[in-house]
Structure 1
């Protein structure tokens, strides 16, 4: 079962050093905690999903809360230093648009990739940001937006440290290994093998699509999916995977080459699953070999 972190300052999270969580007053001066996800949840005693990694931010004692919050979120977006046991909860390519602090509440505005998160993944990312910022004595609650807009499908929009509901290994009902394709720094496709956790109600093909939307785990790679490009639904019938797009989602991609690459990445990544022999595409629920003049079949072999 998931575990409620009912007392943040005496919490059950472990620091990278293996010591119990230290309150801000117990840490060295100018040292702060950034929260990341355990890379291998099945090896974590007690099943705690988030762990803190300490960083130093020189503030000379005069830095404003808002500036310090911006610095913490910027470092959080950069990912953990210890990439062998920790990984970021935030999709690659997410950038900080702004941090504002009014009273004891910080509002963090992030770029579009953050909106690809949902379910447990969104909860983990929200709470990683919340724990990172509420260690500051002047911040007790956090609101997270994307391009200035709240995510309407969230159960709540304002978070505190005491809200944190940690995921444990008991939430995971299975795993699947998939080869996902991302862009390298030269613009070519690079495969990245990921072990994807399956929660109740998840499917293997759905997990692959969500992982592509979240982005790569390896630094130096980036998502090949354009902003706004998203599959409406995906399912498996025998060994054929069906990917359904809304015509509106395809129309947001202005460059034909970008659309072709995105479809190619989806097809190749899904076909890396042992259970999938073929991928077929639909537009607005209808099987489609083309969208406009662009072919939606056979992209993987190009």
Structure 2
């Protein structure tokens, strides 16, 4: 899937007919992600939505705030994580330096690529902005291969990126809130592990229309890794303040536990908060192993 999204993004950026860099005559455009990439066959992973700005508004800040607010079209979703806020926007010559809150730092891989490109394409339609630099709480994301983007930047997954597959069982809630299994075959990419692929698939949601997402909007594990037969899931306390009050975190953690423990090489799941054992994550009690 990552390879396909990256390839679709490549097509989007190369075909400037998709509103790639000029201000439309009737206003501006915002770049959002297709909610269902299967319905976007032959099109781009990102699609535009028109927006009108007040003449008195500073266009760069207004466009970025409108992008963070999300799309009105239900077939689109925001490539930027829920709860991300704009901390500052500074113009340095033809470069826009955008500083975002910690929620943006949870992105990685193709999700980060899409979010970076959505911001870059939205801002570089302004004639005075040729490049965009995106930081999180004033810091660059060290795992990025580059820190400054232009509308012509295309990040394409290499050929042969899929290195294997994994047969997994994911758990999603039905309409009664009961977790149900969904059998899936996940593609593994270079640098992937089975546990990271399971966490990513849970975040992307079920394929079965009778099932609902297991994660509340804005929630995602910070990292997931395996040591011997124990899977460690590191959660971010910084996300708690941005989650809805009725977020079913207990459901999300239970879905993670069941899905990860369904892997043959996982016998136990342990949760960390900001890299340390904790007795709770928000309202959900966590088990702290005995020393």
Same fold flag (TM > 0.5): yes
Aligned to 1:258: none
Question: Cα distance 1:113–1:26, how it changes in 2: closer, same or farther (>3 A)?
Answer: closer
2:130 equivalent to 1:140: yes
TM-score by length of 2: 0.65
- SS of residue paired to 1:92: coil
Provide, for residues 17-37 of structure 1, a one-character-per-residue CA deviation record: whole Å limited to 9, x for no partner: xxx32466572232x121122
Question: 2:31–2:118: 8 Å Cα contact kept in structure 1?
Answer: yes
Q: How does 1:1-302 map to 2 (within 5 A)?
A: 2-3=6-7, 5=10, 11-12=14-15, 20-22=17-19, 27-30=24-27, 32-46=28-42, 48-51=44-47, 53-60=48-55, 62-63=56-57, 67-84=58-75, 86-165=76-155, 178-179=170-171, 198-201=187-190, 202-203=192-193, 205-210=195-200, 221-223=216-218, 230-234=222-226, 242-244=230-232, 265-272=252-259, 275-276=262-263, 280-282=268-270, 295-296=286-287
Question: 2:12–2:43: 8 Å Cα contact kept in structure 1?
Answer: no
Structure 1 distance, partners of 2:82, 2:50, is 20
Structure 2 distance, partners of 1:264, 1:71, is 36
Question: 1:41–1:47: 8 Å Cα contact kept in structure 2?
Answer: no
Where structure 2 has 5 or more consecutive residues not aligned to the other structure, the ranges are: 206-211, 241-247
Provide, for residues 142-183 of structure 1, a one-character-per-residue CA deviation record: whole Å limited to 9, x for no partner: 011111111111111100011133679x967779784568xx
State how many pairs are aligned: 255
What root-mean-square deviation, in Å, do the aligned CA atoms of Structure 1 and Structure 2 show? 4.8
Deviation at 1:279, TM superposition (A): 6.2
TM-score by length of 1: 0.63
